[in-house]
Amino acid sequence: MAAFVIALGLPAAAFALTAQGQVMLQRWGLSDRCVAAAQRAFPDYTPEANAKRDAQLKQCLANSNLPPRDLSAAPK
């Protein structure tokens, strides 16, 4: 069982060691921070707060030169 878990983790660990992997992980981290900041700013789930949260998220992603997230795929 432990060997299986290690085998699953090896490709991800190897990719994280490459330059492209490092950039990808940094961009995911920035994207996650944008999501967290938008959620902290507008924690309610009213239609107005949802719209403001989405707008702030899009602006943060654009300011960080990150691709937009597909908000239609988000859980409702």
Determine the pLDDT at residue 69. Answer: 84
Distance CA 43, CA 74 (A): 16
What pLDDT digit, counting tens, does each position of 9-63 carry? 656 656 567 899 899 999 999 999 999 999 999 999 999 999 999 999 999 999 9
- What's the CA gap between 24 and 41, in Å, rounded? 26
pTM of full prediction above 0.75: no
Does 5 score more than 90 pLDDT? Answer: no
Q: What is the pLDDT of residue 2?
A: 66
DSSP tally for the chain: helices H, then strands E:
3, 0
